[in-house]
Structure 1
Amino acid sequence: MMNGVVPFPKDFADRYRAKGYWEDLPMRHYFKQWCEQYADRVALRDVNRSVTFRELDERSTNLALNLLALGLAPGDTVVLQLPNVIEFAYVHFALQKIAVIPVMALPPHRFREMSHFVAVSEAKAVFTPVAQRDFSYVEMVGRIREQSPCVQHAIVLGDAPAGCVSLTELIERPATLPASRIDEIKIDPEMPALFLLSGGTTGIPKLIPRTHNDYIFNSKNAVSVCGVREGDVLLDVLPIAHNLPLACPGLQGFLMKGCTVVLHANTNPEELFPLIEKTRVTHIHVVPALLIRWIESPVIGNYDLSSVRVIQSGGQRLQPETRKRTQQLLPNCTVQENFGMAEGVLMFVRLDDPVDVRMETVGRPICPDDEVMILDEDDNPVKPGEVGELCVRGPYTLRGYYKAPEHNARAFTPDGFYRSGDLMRQHPSGNYMVEGRKKDLINRGAEKISAEEIENLILMHPAVLNVACIPIPDRLMGERNCACLILRPGMSVGFEELVAFLNTQEIAKFKLPERVEYFDDFPLSNFGKVSKKDLVAMVVERMTKAA
């Protein structure tokens, strides 16, 4: 087993094999199978291009061989930071062919996060665009290479400057190595196929090892409950490095069924609606903030969106009013709620659940061996219908974060249940309802922000004596980050100055506070800790009075 990876206990692994959940085949086996079975069908599309399954296989094989020639080897890790482009799929397939393990970073991540991912994973290469708007990924990777000599290659999408390697060239340049080199590589299906990122509460995201066995099963199960038919088309517009658009069922699940995946990085309705009409999209992954933006767009009535049958919503609780409005505008469409985590367990509302269940719940687990416990503060199971922390284990739920033994001791029960930090209760139907969270997270449009990470950075400002970052409710994003400050005597810092200071720390922009409130002291709980619940109420009251 790879050093730093917590394996599944043998008795559980044996059970998952006996039940057919794990087939002990690497992900590349399935990828090749799909490409052969559906060779002439269109696998991938964007605004201007279409790629068949045969072309996907050929180009990813060629890329894989060129990556081997470049010096990457089975068992190496890389950091993959690409937007929703066809080249992402080429890289994903190529890395699985040669057992190179990607860390799935997001395009908004900046030096602070990316340097951490490189250091923890000891990445041999980083895949990025050259630049985006006014941000230079090349410059960022150059600085990372200066402090992390493990990075041997900067592979960029676009015109490669000196010191970088062109991804386009690696895809298109005929390989000199024979294709048999790939077949010679042996892959242990219990090894990580990739690392996803946590929405962790204790700073920069942790790495989540997803094995070949568990991650292909993840997609198989997810696609089975989403009404996917032959000829269907998925629009992948959420950042594809996230678990939902990648594999729940996402890119992997739709390709598994011989369907087409349309990749697009811009969420503007003026671009997306004509793309949906043109490609006859049937399924879309969204987060509530995105869906609200679309249904409120004045141009929604200008396009034929009747092909859309399922809009799958995750990341945050979807309000019933948004669901009703969507189905008024798109009468052929069902909005399907789901609850999932990069760490594993997935819950889906079934498409044939009664209307009241679809309106009120986030679904139920997709596998009979997804074990769920709702625990109270003393780790005792709550009574049916009562609220507690969701704790889970199963054939595709991790047994430990990568290289994080101290955190794992807190994040898992002694018998291996993952403590999700989500407060839930079971609906009489058997589905589950989200009732809040135990972890100190801010859920901004389904991007999870660690309050502790931002608080630690704000405390570095010389004017700040104490800080508490809290989630304030927002109709569009669900929550926004409000920084509550206690300043040092005689000192001051305004909102714009604070944001400018945080930008010098080079963090993803979605983590920045969007409001600042000032206090002389903070309310405390009975245990002497800052009562963020009371802080939220106080800030909301201020906002109400100011409105």
Structure 2
Amino acid sequence: MSDTIVELVARAGATDPDGPALIFEDGLTVSRGELLARAERFAGYLRGVVRPGEMVAAMMANRTEFMVAWFATAAVGGVFVALNPEAGDHDLTHVLTDSGAVAFIGDGDAIARLARLDSELPALRERIAVADGEPGGLDAYSGAEPLTFAGLDLDPAAITNVYYTSGTTGAPKGCMVDHRYWRRLVDGYRHERGLETGDRILCCLKFFYNDPSWQLLTSLEAGVGLVVMRRFSVSRFWRVVNDNDVTQLFTIGSIPALLLSAPPSELERSHRVRYGIQVAIDAALHREMTDRWGMPWTDTYGLTETGGLIATPLADAERMTGSGIMGTARTDVETRLLAEDGSEVPAGTPGELFVRAPFIMSGYLNRPEATAEAVDPDGWFRTGDLMQVDADGWFTFLGRKKDIVRRAGENISAGEVEEVLRSHPAVIDAAVVPVADTLRGEEVLAHVYLAPEAAAAGDLDALRVALVDHAAERLAKHKVPRYLLLRAEDFPRTPSMRVAKQQLPRGEVPADAWDREAASAGSAR
């Protein structure tokens, strides 16, 4: 593979210009040559707007212009910061101010939302509106001369992307990755899974994740097509798979559980899919997945900061079905399982996973302390996840030490949600913990310490609704707490005056927790 993603795109567009790069579920197909040409034209514009190392934020749905903007940004030496189109104003402001983005690319709705925040974004100097008429939504910003990708002298160690990931406390941190990071992901996938002439990979995730980006790069490098859903849908999933001759699936979070919840259909077994890959397969669903859909499913594990780390080889798919075992470490990954005192634990004993691999993240933007905490001087990355490994090197995932809720594949920072809840005048403090959910893996439970006057108020149900509305106005939809427990007394605290969360109900949903989904259903009736 090329050293830079720009070289990869240039070669794919030159060697097979008519081959499909993006095949959207609604019939739009963009060839490799067209993708390259549009990226070169937009790069011609960006080189007069963005200096090397400057941040370019993008906020849009799954459409061609997202990938065009990414490649063009990399070509001019800029850094691409992808935003969730459903991000609340709190999230949006944090990412744009923390990254210091100088340019913002978005559709009409995103540009309109940005206008409300202008006074809080002094670094932002360019707003680029993506028009209707995909894939030509950036045509108005074509440069006088396209920037030819072939032969560009770019540093493979240059940062290409910043992904904001939820950490243990506070607002999300910006994880910086470079060209070499993408090379490793593409090489790893192709080595482990193989791609044949005529293969097609399904992308059913939102483009602002890092997974669709490596999926596209992999398909360009291998000369196969990437089939794209505009957004995930249970009702459309198997129709898209069948109509577009998909041969490989990649899913995360609760996607398999959601698909299994639908009535069986003929389309589930009439496809050409050779296998599926799921991040963290639910052992209880694994056998049903393979039997109902007629193909093997293999597990995999990785983080935004590291890319793929552990996976089950396809040859072992049947043997590992339903075992709960995640896989073995990839060939370029070193692993350690450490106890709390830093000693290495023996096989079969739980420990925190530390990994060392080439071309993982380059650090957290503007956070040297957080970077030093995550990666030691010898290059060992602390995952914060508990695992155990057997004598043959097979890993089983046991849980997370990080203070996050993982809801339907999304990492939600407890600290970020707590910060928003504390900003409500009725709240003194808040503590967010995960609780189990059969469909989404985990849900958000917020323990809320009320101000005395609020606790004495008679209508607590109205207050609960007000707190949820307050969070919904400031956070992405998936971060809004589902469950609330109100309290009139202070939390148990550690010597450093932090909430002692381990003493709060968590794991299972407490019987007295208020459920906003149940309340909404009751209101509807």
Identify the match of residue 397 of structure 2 among 427, 431, 434. Answer: 434
Mark the CA change 1:117 to 1:287 in structure 2 (over 3 Å): closer, same or farther: same
What is the TM-score of this pair, normalised by structure 1?
0.85
**2:277 and 2:193 mapped to 1: Cα distance?**
8
Amino acid corresponding to residue 208 of structure 2 in structure 1: A
Contact 1:210–1:398 under 8 Å retained in 2? yes
Counterpart position of 1:339? 301
> CA offset at residue 395 of structure 1?
0.7
Counterpart position of 2:522? none
- Are 1:186 and 2:159 counterparts? no
Mark the CA change 1:75 to 1:485 in structure 2 (over 3 Å): closer, same or farther: closer
Q: How does 1:284-433 map to 2 (within 5 A)?
A: 284-298=249-263, 300-302=265-267, 305-314=270-279, 317-331=280-294, 333-346=295-308, 347-353=310-316, 355-358=318-321, 359-368=323-332, 370-433=333-396
**2:169 and 2:162 mapped to 1: Cα distance?**
18
> CA offset at residue 241 of structure 1?
2.3
**2:495 and 2:366 mapped to 1: Cα distance?**
35
> CA offset at residue 411 of structure 1?
2.3
Mark the CA change 1:538 to 1:273 in structure 2 (over 3 Å): closer, same or farther: closer
What is the TM-score of this pair, normalised by structure 2?
0.88
- Are 1:57 and 2:21 counterparts? no
- Are 1:511 and 2:501 counterparts? no
Mark the CA change 1:176 to 1:201 in structure 2 (over 3 Å): closer, same or farther: same
Mark the CA change 1:495 to 1:300 in structure 2 (over 3 Å): closer, same or farther: farther
Identify the match of residue 202 of structure 1 among 166, 169, 172. Answer: 169
Deviations 1:289-318 (A, max 9, x none): 11111122126335664212222212xx32
Q: Which moved more, 1:138-147 or 1:321-330?
A: 138-147
Deviations 1:406-444 (A, max 9, x none): 222322334332211111111343121111111111000
**1:126 and 1:243 mapped to 2: Cα distance?**
19
Counterpart position of 1:10? none
Identify the match of residue 536 of structure 1 among 487, 505, 510. Answer: 505
**1:153 and 1:538 mapped to 2: Cα distance?**
46
Contact 2:11–2:150 under 8 Å retained in 1? no
Amino acid corresponding to residue 65 of structure 1 in structure 2: G
Q: Secondary structure of the equivalent of 2:39?
A: helix
Contact 1:201–1:449 under 8 Å retained in 2? no
**1:335 and 1:366 mapped to 2: Cα distance?**
18
Contact 2:434–2:445 under 8 Å retained in 1? yes
Q: Secondary structure of the equivalent of 1:126?
A: strand
Mark the CA change 1:146 to 1:173 in structure 2 (over 3 Å): closer, same or farther: closer
Mark the CA change 1:521 to 1:300 in structure 2 (over 3 Å): closer, same or farther: farther
**2:142 and 2:494 mapped to 1: Cα distance?**
65
Mark the CA change 1:50 to 1:323 in structure 2 (over 3 Å): closer, same or farther: same
Contact 2:58–2:106 under 8 Å retained in 1? yes
**2:114 and 2:106 mapped to 1: Cα distance?**
9
Q: Secondary structure of the equivalent of 2:315?
A: coil
- Are 1:156 and 2:135 counterparts? no
Contact 2:433–2:506 under 8 Å retained in 1? no
Contact 1:125–1:151 under 8 Å retained in 2? yes
**1:360 and 1:430 mapped to 2: Cα distance?**
14
- Are 1:484 and 2:462 counterparts? no
Counterpart position of 2:412? 449
**2:132 and 2:379 mapped to 1: Cα distance?**
47
> CA offset at residue 258 of structure 1?
0.7
Contact 2:431–2:447 under 8 Å retained in 1? yes
> CA offset at residue 458 of structure 1?
1.6
Deviations 1:139-160 (A, max 9, x none): 2212343322322222233359
> CA offset at residue 267 of structure 1?
1.7
> CA offset at residue 194 of structure 1?
1.5
- Are 1:281 and 2:246 counterparts? yes
* Structure 1 stretches lacking a partner, 5+ long: 1-22, 132-136, 161-165
Q: Which moved more, 1:508-517 or 1:96-105?
A: 96-105
- Are 1:86 and 2:64 counterparts? yes
* Structure 2 stretches lacking a partner, 5+ long: 519-525
Mark the CA change 1:428 to 1:354 in structure 2 (over 3 Å): closer, same or farther: farther
